[in-house]
Amino acid sequence: MSENKEERREAGGRARCQIAHVPGKPPSSACAEPAREIVDGLVLCERHALEAKLEGQIECWGEMLFHIELWSREARRQKRPGVVGLLENQRARATPARRRAYVDLDVLSRRDMPWG
């Protein structure tokens, strides 16, 4: 059995969470929980899968807000108030969605702390 497969296996033969293989995570972030979901090609436990999904949502909303700002400036420059209004509506939806994802991630992080 290869070394990679051995890392994923628990004593009972079930796959273990691969959070230690996620880029940007500290190598000491090993998790002994059983893997339940595949996220970006890695098998993660339920908690780490949710964390990765929330972080991805936050990044996505941030990129959307960046582009909304970029195109809003261009629409203002071209004197296109209808387009500016549509983009403002999208900003009004994206901003609270990003905020909710941050709150959810914070709640998840605090739940994992021994004092949280």
What is the pTM for the complete model shown?
Answer: 0.73
Q: How far is CA 48 from CA 34, 68, 90, 97, 100, in A?
A: 11, 30, 30, 20, 18
What is the arithmetic mean of pLDDT over 84-99? Answer: 98
Query: Which residues, 6 or more positions from 50, have their beta carbon under 8 angstroms from its beta carbon?
Result: 108
What is the per-residue pLDDT for 28?
A: 52
Predicted confidence (pLDDT) at residue 89 exceeds the cutoff of 70? yes
Q: What is the chain's Cα-based Rg?
A: 20
Residue range 12-28, pLDDT digits in tens: 456 778 877 666 666 55
Q: Kindly list the domain boundaries of the chain, sorted by start residue.
A: 3-112
For the ranges 17-26, 28-37, 57-66, 86-95, which has the lowest average pLDDT? 17-26
Q: Which residue has the higher pLDDT, 28 or 88?
A: 88
When pLDDT is cut at 50, 70 and 90, the band that residue 103 belongs to is: very high
Predicted confidence (pLDDT) at residue 69 exceeds the cutoff of 50? yes
What is the arithmetic mean of pLDDT over 23-39? Answer: 73
